[in-house]
């Protein structure tokens, strides 16, 4: 019997809805085909955006979308993607598959997509190969209201009123594809570029995201912060609202990666173990951030996370298309529980990537669409968005087949929403064992509990032939006890309980 203790009296931090954010890059079939099919497509669309995909994402309550990259961002020149489509430049997408990018999805289309999704906007600017002027003018183009060259250009292109940019990334992976910079060089560039990411509306601050580390590159975090915090910069309002970090789960390492669908039990636990490593990264990068920002004003922005496997056989290796199984569902459940638990520092996270790329929540093929197991986890966890994390702990034991890759059997997080309703999300990492869970809820009598569960065999997935193979079902076998709740969590499952 595992004990789960929840103390709703101990409210810890707000779980920013942005933790449930997404990322869409001009990569493979994410933007084109996955989201944007064009106005003339036989696939049902509104202003070119696929209706089925938009509806699914709205149901999941997508809070924020990052665009246009990724590595693509530091080669993206925004002027290529505005104006009449027939005049837009055709370029080669050098990072991803060497295919022709016709720029038919650009700034106007991105804001139209976010309008339909009713989500916030996160634009990633080009610091690697773009100029300060180019970045500054993009911000002016998007957000300036009044008389200015960029506002006039926007109006000529059919959009008189400015849009709202909620987040702006000042470069992406500038230690790698974004210019191969050293941390102090990047930090000085950050200082310069961010100066011109101006708030043109006094009441609309654009939150600026500084490029943070790859995985465990703690030197990058330390040196970037040291350079950015030198002299007077920290005293300027909003000079840095977030510092990013990228970490992908590669069970077999970066070179080999491994199949998304064909894996054994050992690889299952390796995947879980490598996912849980996220917590060490948050703690250690967070400790460095604490030295410079003890009040936690700068958010840790995990703007790329998720599984990265070998692409599906027969697909373009540059398109990073992979299937999604119950293993991905567990990876999502574990990571989202971790982000919730660290929501004092983690202020946004964006799974890579939203449609047809890496750990996608949606896959499409022509007019067909499937919601992946990962989608269902986001849909179950959406109740945590903007709720308050409360204190909780669960008794666990170590499981796994190899000494090196032992993992706790269970993870959890608990929040209380604006109506005082408790939301408990749990993952059972074991492939074969279910566990009885005896839950104590401090100072609260339970009057009603409802639940939903995603569970299946570890390789189970949704395909275009069987799109409903993995889906949530009601989880009804939960007893209300004197102290709280009692239930058994099945093997290989993700559960959400709503407690009143
Ligand atoms: O998500 C795919 C790629 O992974 C992104 O373009 C890049 O930022 C990262 O290396």
pLDDT at 445: 94
Would you give the DSSP letter of residue 115? H
For 344, phi then psi, to 5°, come to: -70, -30
Q: What's the pTM? A: 0.97
Known catalytic membership, residue 173:
yes
In whole numbers, what is the pLDDT of the chain averaged over residues? 97
pLDDT at 111: 98
pLDDT in tens, 32-51: 999 999 999 999 999 999 99
- Structural contact between residues 56 and 44, judged by C-beta atoms closer than 8 angstroms: no
Task: Report residue 240 as tokens.
Answer: 């840095």
> Residue 388: is its pLDDT beyond 90?
yes
**Secondary element (H or E) of residue 267:** helix 265-292
Atom of ligand 1 nearest to the CA of 352: 1
Residue 231 confidence class, pLDDT cut points 50, 70, 90: confident
Q: Count CB neighbours of 230 within 10 A.
A: 13
pLDDT in tens, 316-361: 999 999 999 999 999 999 999 999 999 999 999 999 999 999 999 9
Which of 25, 109, 173, 189 is flagged as catalytic? Answer: 173
Handedness of CA 71, 72, 76, 82 (dihedral sign): negative
Rounded to an integer, the average pLDDT of 82-110 is 96
Helices (H), 118-264: 132-143, 149-156, 183-195, 218-229, 253-256
- Structural contact between residues 334 and 427, judged by C-beta atoms closer than 8 angstroms: yes
Residue nearest to atom 4 of ligand 1 (CA): 70
Torsion of CA 78, 79, 83, 86, to 10 degrees: -90
Q: Which residues contact 131 (CB under 8 A, 6 or more apart)?
A: none
Residue 233 confidence class, pLDDT cut points 50, 70, 90: low
Whole-number Å distance, alpha carbon 353 to ligand 1 midpoint, is 9
Task: Report residue 111 as tokens.
Answer: 């804001």
| Cα 93 from chain centroid (whole Å) | 23
């Amino acid at each position: 019997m595992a004990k789960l203790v929840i103390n709703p009296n101990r409210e810890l931090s707000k779980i920013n809805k942005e933790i449930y954010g997404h990322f869409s890059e001009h990569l493979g079939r994410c933007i084109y085909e996955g989201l944007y099919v064009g106005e003339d497509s036989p696939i049902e669309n509104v202003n070119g955006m696929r209706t089925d995909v938009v509806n699914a994402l709205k149901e999941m309550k997508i809070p924020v979308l990052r665009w246009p990259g990724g590595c693509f961002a530091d080669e993206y020149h925004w002027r290529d993607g505005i104006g009449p489509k027939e005049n837009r430049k055709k370029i080669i997408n050098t990072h991803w598959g060497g295919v022709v990018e016709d720029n038919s999805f650009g700034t106007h289309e991105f804001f139209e997509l976010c309008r339909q999704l009713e989500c916030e906007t996160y634009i990633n600017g080009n610091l690697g190969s773009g100029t300060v002027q180019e970045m500054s003018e993009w911000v002016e183009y998007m957000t300036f209201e009044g008389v200015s060259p960029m506002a006039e250009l926007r109006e000529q292109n059919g959009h008189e009123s400015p849009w709202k940019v909620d987040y702006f990334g000042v470069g992406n992976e500038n230690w790698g594809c974004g210019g191969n910079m050293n941390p102090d060089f990047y930090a000085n560039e950050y200082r310069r570029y961010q100066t011109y990411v101006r708030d043109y509306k006094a009441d609309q601050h654009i939150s600026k995201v500084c490029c943070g580390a790859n995985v465990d590159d703690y030197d990058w975090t330390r040196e970037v912060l040291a350079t950015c915090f030198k002299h007077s910069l920290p005293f300027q309002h909003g000079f840095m609202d977030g510092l990013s970090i990228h970490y992908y789960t590669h069970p077999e390492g970066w070179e080999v990666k491994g199949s998304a669908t064909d894996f054994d039990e050992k690889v299952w636990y390796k995947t879980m173990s490598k996912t849980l490593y996220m917590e060490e990264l948050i703690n250690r990068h967070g400790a460095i951030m604490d030295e410079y920002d003890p009040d936690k004003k700068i958010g840790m922005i995990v703007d790329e996370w998720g599984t990265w496997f070998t692409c599906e056989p027969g697909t373009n290796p540059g398109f990073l298309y992979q299937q999604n199984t119950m293993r991905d569902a567990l990876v999502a459940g574990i990571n989202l529980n971790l982000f919730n638990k660290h929501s004092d520092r983690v202020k946004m996270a964006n799974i890579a990537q939203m449609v047809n790329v890496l750990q996608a929540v949606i896959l499409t093929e022509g007019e067909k669409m499937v919601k992946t197991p990962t989608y269902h986890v986001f849909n179950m966890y959406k109740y945590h968005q903007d709720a308050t994390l409360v204190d909780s702990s669960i008794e666990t034991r170590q499981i796994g087949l190899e000494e090196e890759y032992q993992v706790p059997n269970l993870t959890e997080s608990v929040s209380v929403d604006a109506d005082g309703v408790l939301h408990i999300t749990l993952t059972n990492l074991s492939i074969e064992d279910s566990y009885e869970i005896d839950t104590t809820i401090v100072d609260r009598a339970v009057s009603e509990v409802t639940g939903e569960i995603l569970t299946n065999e570890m390789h189970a997935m949704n395909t275009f032939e069987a799109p409903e193979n993995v889906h949530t079902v009601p989880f009804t076998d939960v007893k209300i006890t004197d102290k709280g709740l009692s239930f058994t969590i099945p093997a290989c499952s993700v559960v959400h309980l709503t407690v009143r």
